[in-house]
């Protein structure tokens, strides 16, 4: 009995010793993991999806959140430089106090989540992830003072970014006058089944990040609306939409479905109506960044930089495209076909509620592709698994630029855009993407 008591006493001492012994600090290695950042962006993307943000507002969410993360990472990574002064109106970033230890990769994660939480709703929906990151830091042995200094540094960057974001005119556009529907030949009007009001008719008033103005890459003028002359450029383009829509191949249907990216589709069955959700075009490309980063084995710095530059390209591309959409106010193919050819005709995918020229998906995809080709090389050969959760199988992406062209063509297959919408959007988006690559030098030489 004495022997047993002695063994139990020794065991208790050993347990107590290990309980009191300091944890081994593996936090540097733990947070030096690009997959953690990819998962955090995906978390933000899921919140954006669930809350039905229109695609251009989604792009705004991604841009500010990733810029905050990037500035934290760059502060502790000599290979990268701040975006302050590169983005002309971005203020100088705060610096850490001398003599303190900061985990800059954790600071980047915390900043991504906190800014993402601030620009989405419901408020606090991302903070469970924020709290888990702090618990993870403790569990891998990060000293309490290092964690507190990291949080304080992150908070200073978050505060700077959020204050800066409030100057982009977003709040003012919330109360701007609504779009006036005019039932004139060739002009956009709401489309079935929702007949929703025009989305974000003042988005061109949002402050760009890199562009000098919303009209910097203004596309060529669309064809003159003419349905009286069957040999006109417009009528031929309109008839092409109908003819393709009437004879879609299985491959064309799949491409249309894969790049549909309608964040809020209204389904009608008899008298019942219900909505279904998917990632927006911006969210889809954010997912592709993460897949490409993992495939290329990008480190944390390169991963954050790729997300950030792509998000910036998406943000400015929507401003550029919306500037043209509400300049030309061009009629959708669905409306014109129903009015002048076959009133029962409907497109394969649902027409979104804003004017046709140019294609938003073509514009933002081309801009994103240029940035991602710069980050990872154009030939990537990845499996895009973004839509598996929505019952749509994966699609192989061999080059980003080809994927952008396919995304543009998907709108013709879907029956919601003319070919000239897609081609002009791709051209403008390509120019915009190249401009952003030239203007933003994220890596130090």
CATH, residue 318: 1.10.606.20
Instruction: Check whether residue 278 and residue 341 sit in a common domain.
Output: yes
**pLDDT tier at 269, thresholds 50, 70, 90:** low
For residues 251 and 373, membership in a common domain is answered with: yes
Q: Are residues 189 and 163 in the same domain?
A: no
Q: Range of 253's domain?
A: 185-439
DSSP helix/strand/coil, 103: coil
Q: Are residues 82 and 227 in the same domain?
A: no
How many domains does the chain contain in total?
Answer: 2
Query: What is the per-residue pLDDT for 51?
Result: 84
Which of residues 142, 170, 198 is at a domain's end?
A: 170
Residue 408 included in any domain: yes
Q: In terms of domains, do 119 and 239 share one?
A: no
| Same-domain check for residues 306 and 363 | yes
Domain assignment present for residue 3? The answer is no
Q: What is the β-pairing status of strands 272-276 and 265-269?
A: antiparallel
Considering only CA atoms, which of 429, 416, 426, 434 is closest in space to residue 320? 429
Residue 145 lies in a domain: yes
Q: Are 97 and 215 members of one domain? A: no
Q: Which of 34-48, 110-124, 266-280, 344-358 is predicted least confidently?
A: 266-280
Torsion of CA 186, 191, 196, 202, to 10 degrees: -30
Establish if 19 belongs to a structural domain.
no
pLDDT at residue 124 in the model: 76
Q: Which of 99-108, 225-234, 245-254, 269-278 has the lowest mean pLDDT?
A: 269-278
What does pLDDT average to over the chain? Answer: 92
What does the block give as tokens for 409?
């063509």
Question: Does residue 56 or residue 10 have the better pLDDT?
Answer: 56
- Angle at the Cα of 355 (from 180 to 349), degrees rounded to 5? 130
Statement to judge: residues 126 and 192 lie in one domain: no
Around Cβ 281, how many Cβ atoms within 10 Å? 29
Are residue 247 and residue 329 in the same domain, yes or no? yes
Residue 18 has pLDDT above 50, yes or no: no
In a domain? residue 51: yes
Q: Are 257 and 323 members of one domain?
A: yes
Whether 148 and 225 share a structural domain = no
Is the residue at 11 inside a domain? no
Q: Are residues 364 and 393 in the same domain?
A: yes
Does the pLDDT at position 3 exceed 70?
no
- Give the pLDDT confidence of 30-80 residue by residue, as tens digits: 999 999 999 999 999 999 988 888 999 999 999 999 999 999 999 999 999
Whole-model pTM above 0.75?
A: yes
Is the pLDDT at 9 greater than 80? The verdict is no
Domain end: 139, 170, 201, which one?
170
């Amino acid at each position: 009995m004495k022997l047993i008591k002695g063994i139990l006493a020794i065991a208790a001492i050993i347990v107590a010793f290990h309980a009191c012994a300091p944890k081994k600090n593996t936090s540097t290695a733990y947070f030096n993991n690009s997959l953690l950042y990819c998962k955090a962006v995906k978390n933000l993307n899921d919140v954006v999806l669930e809350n039905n943000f229109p695609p251009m507002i989604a792009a705004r969410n991604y841009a500010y959140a990733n810029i905050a993360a990037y500035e934290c990472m760059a502060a502790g990574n000599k290979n990268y430089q701040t975006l302050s002064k590169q983005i002309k109106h971005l203020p100088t970033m705060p610096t850490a106090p001398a003599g303190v230890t900061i985990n800059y990769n954790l600071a980047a994660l915390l900043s991504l989540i906190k800014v993402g939480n601030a620009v989405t709703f419901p408020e606090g929906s991302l903070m469970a992830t924020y709290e888990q990151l702090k618990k993870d830091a403790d569990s891998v042995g990060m000293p309490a003072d290092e964690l507190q200094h990291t949080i304080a540094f992150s908070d200073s960057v978050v505060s700077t970014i959020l204050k800066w974001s409030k100057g982009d005119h977003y709040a003012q556009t919330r109360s701007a006058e609504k779009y006036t529907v005019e039932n004139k030949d060739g002009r956009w009007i709401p489309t079935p089944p929702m007949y929703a009001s025009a989305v974000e008719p003042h988005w061109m008033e949002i402050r760009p990040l890199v562009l000098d103005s919303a009209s910097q890459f203004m596309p060529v003028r669309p064809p003159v609306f003419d349905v009286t002359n069957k040999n006109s450029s417009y009528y031929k383009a309109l008839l092409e939409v109908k003819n393709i829509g009437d004879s879609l191949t299985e491959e064309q249907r799949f491409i249309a479905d894969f790049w549909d990216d309608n964040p809020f589709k209204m389904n009608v069955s008899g008298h019942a109506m219900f909505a279904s959700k998917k990632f927006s075009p911006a969210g889809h490309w954010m997912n592709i960044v993460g897949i490409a980063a993992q495939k290329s084995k990008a480190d944390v710095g390169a991963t954050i930089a790729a997300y950030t530059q792509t998000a910036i390209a998406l943000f400015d591309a929507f401003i550029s495209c919306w500037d043209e959409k509400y300049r030309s106010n061009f009629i959708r193919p669905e409306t014109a076909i129903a009015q002048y050819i076959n009133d029962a005709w409907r497109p394969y995918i649902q027409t979104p509620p804003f004017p046709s020229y140019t294609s938003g998906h073509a514009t933002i995809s081309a801009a994103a592709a240029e940035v991602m080709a710069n980050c990872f090389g154009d030939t990537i050969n990845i499996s895009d698994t973004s839509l598996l959760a929505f019952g749509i199988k994966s699609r192989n992406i061999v080059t980003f630029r080809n994927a952008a062209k396919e995304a543009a063509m998907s709108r013709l297959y879907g029956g919601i855009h003319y070919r000239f919408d897609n081609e002009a959007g791709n051209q403008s988006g390509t120019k915009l993407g190249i401009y952003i690559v030239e203007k933003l030098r994220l890596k130090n030489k």
